[in-house]
Structure 1
């Protein structure tokens, strides 16, 4: 899953299912994306259906037989779900165990207890980054917003000074760091190495979240001076706190060390594999053989889930039945995500099979624009049009995947990160996250744009700058 070979990519594009020229293929790509954008934005159709219909439209406009287009889409969907679906499911289980066991609360309370007024924004970044590793963005917001509101209210802090760092931590994790769905799909489509992508993603994420979080929050607090909305403070006590109240009703919580260690376990295993691959670089070496297994995404996340059952589930006093129920409940909410990711894989494969990849390779030979910047720009355009970071990542990955064929391992990883950075650019009114932040923080549209939207843009641009800098030295 983590590294499609160049030969596989080439094989996918050897015999296009259409004889259309580059001009027709270019029109077909624009038409297919336009159909997806129109269905999502105008008709509010679910992204899964929009991607499915857009893939069929792409094939029709490219002059491909409908039966072959359907086959391409189905093959891409199947391969993507097979490669990424299990990882998303394991990540969801780990996140649910962390939330329901009180492990997330333990991390939050421990860090906040050590933080003072000046360090509070930095504490919020640290909390959001740790919580955001295994949790989907929307879940992370629901979990952290009550904490943000309470800290701002009780400490008499500016809401933006506390909230922006937390949002930045969640957003950066969502866009750049696996095992979130977007980065996983991009890694799969481009054939990048997951461990190297994770390592470079962390290098890019740290300075990016500092600039977009604690540093930008100083300006956001001046631009947007809003009080903590009492109605949302009360609502969060009634609604989010299903998780928080449930954890408080437990006999005990997992320890801080146990919770953090469990969350970081898959990261450490995957980074360890990447490091051994670079240092040893011998497939026959016994150490490398072991790390290749335990550091593979599937085994790393599975190990974290199994460890989490004991450190988080049993650590909170869960019975076997309660643990089983928690795992079961974690899987239902990701059905939509899996379908969108799968349909995105189908769209990607249709792009490849009709010959769009070769078309982009042909055109790019005469372009003076770096591949990393091109990937970022494509993701930005789709993000602005659809409002979905995941759709932007999936679509852009399919379009630029052929550019990775001659890239080194590190540059292929940077291509993934460039797409992820572009997918975060300027969240606005067509993004569900925009409205979540607006309502939770009690802001109007203009205030949300000056805080949340600007923060997302800073993340996107700053991450791109660091990605381009890394490309010069790797």
Structure 2
């Protein structure tokens, strides 16, 4: 995990340091938005300039940057890479199709949008938003053609499910990086993310999708052929097998979290060999490693040659490299902010205003989301900015830290608009113009972020 180290006496007053922080964020956003500099390059450059501006000793600048980058990647790269492999294998073996078909059969035709949403929630656990949506779209179009009505009725619950899982639930890079940066337990973040994300999806995506489908009558686009039957998958897996692959990492991770709670409560001794062994397999990287091996043996090898499975895993890594590097660079930026004393200045300022730390985290994430578009960048940058202030806030429990991560995730979800790739992805795939996309997708994303934060804030007050 990324911990906040003791920082030397800052070179400037709190006001000057906060001014530098504001300037650094504005520069970062300007580079990404207006000059179209890649987020990875922009984060590295701004980290270096911020260290120089705050007079971090020159000999310590590069080690500080590398420490932040490396410590973040130590956890994030493993989780993202293994999650991508599992998701890709499920995709190419027909797991998504089996998932959707089975759930629709069990939910019934009238609840087809709910079935597609549930399938997307399950499939969205290991796979990223854009990849998951592209995989599900042919299935969505096929179901919409079969049952009729606006395509939004079927597409928005599914798209919202992927959006919620991508922002709220590890092993996706945003919540993983945010959890690492603020020192939260990732197993607890996963459980809290699911506990908040599921009702958030139902209220802000499923119910809104039904409403939007009645208000906006959109035909089924011809894109992607509109049929999930165009590509044969050979010997498709059973629904039980697909479900076991999706649930296995959550069950293993719960072992660690549950045992940790039992140890804290005094029900179990933490130094027992069997307890240590179970907690080891419940660590998120180990749980995903076990799941990837399980998927390879029971899903991949019976349907593909060993060489083909190796290629599937290899191909899954290429699309996530940029995400991993951006996430690591966000950790680098946070490390520089800690070393410069900006984090302590921000903590002092928040104490003076009396703004609860969870509210401040949501506000900062919202501002970054609106300004630069990327949910992952907003999550990572906000966590880096807020980590020192969170560490300086006394009385925060592990649950509080997990709720703060969800609040940051909620802020990074709201108000998707023209600077967000997801805005264009959804709009173009569903055949919507910009105005309609703003009225549907942007509204749904804002509902998801707002509802998710309301749940997190309410829980922080009562627990």
TM-score (norm 1): 0.92
The partner residue of 1:308 within 289, 295, 300 is: 295
Q: Deviations over 1:47-99 (max 9, x none)?
A: 11111112122223323355533332222111111221111111111111111
- The structural deviation recorded for 1:291 is 2.4
Output the CA distance in 1 between the equivalents of 2:32 and 2:295: 37
Contact 1:13 1:358 (8 Å CA) reproduced = no
1:366-445 mapped onto 2 (5 Å cutoff): 366-405=352-391, 406=394, 407-445=396-434
Q: Which residue of 1 aligns with 2:260?
A: 277
Q: Which residue of 1 aligns with 2:35?
A: 43
The partner residue of 2:145 within 147, 153, 176 is: 153
Q: Which residue of 2 aligns with 1:162?
A: 154
Q: Which residue of 2 aligns with 1:126?
A: 118
Q: Which residue of 1 aligns with 2:217?
A: 225
Output the CA distance in 1 between the equivalents of 2:205 and 2:307: 40
Output the CA distance in 1 between the equivalents of 2:436 and 2:330: 33
- The structural deviation recorded for 1:151 is 1.3
- What is the total number of aligned residue pairs between the two structures? 456
Contact 2:174 2:380 (8 Å CA) reproduced = yes
Output the CA distance in 2 between the equivalents of 1:344 and 1:84: 12
Output the CA distance in 1 between the equivalents of 2:387 and 2:274: 32
Q: Which residue of 1 aligns with 2:284?
A: 297
- Structure 2 regions of 5+ residues with no counterpart? none
Q: Which residue of 1 aligns with 2:85?
A: 93
Q: Deviations over 1:338-387 (max 9, x none)?
A: 11111111111011111111112211222222111110110000000010
- The structural deviation recorded for 1:277 is 1.3
The partner residue of 1:15 within 5, 8, 11 is: 8
- The structural deviation recorded for 1:14 is 2.7
1:204-223 mapped onto 2 (5 Å cutoff): 204-223=196-215
Pairwise CA RMSD: 1.7
The partner residue of 1:264 within 224, 239, 247 is: 247
Q: Which residue of 2 aligns with 1:459?
A: 448
Contact 2:255 2:282 (8 Å CA) reproduced = yes
Q: Which residue of 1 aligns with 2:50?
A: 58
Q: Which residue of 2 aligns with 1:472?
A: 461
Structure 1's 297 and 414: CA in aligned 2 closer, same or farther, altered over 3 A?
same
1:158-197 mapped onto 2 (5 Å cutoff): 158-197=150-189
Structure 1's 186 and 107: CA in aligned 2 closer, same or farther, altered over 3 A?
same
Contact 2:327 2:380 (8 Å CA) reproduced = yes
1:105-116 mapped onto 2 (5 Å cutoff): 105-116=97-108
1:70-85 mapped onto 2 (5 Å cutoff): 70-85=62-77
Output the CA distance in 2 between the equivalents of 1:109 and 1:221: 21
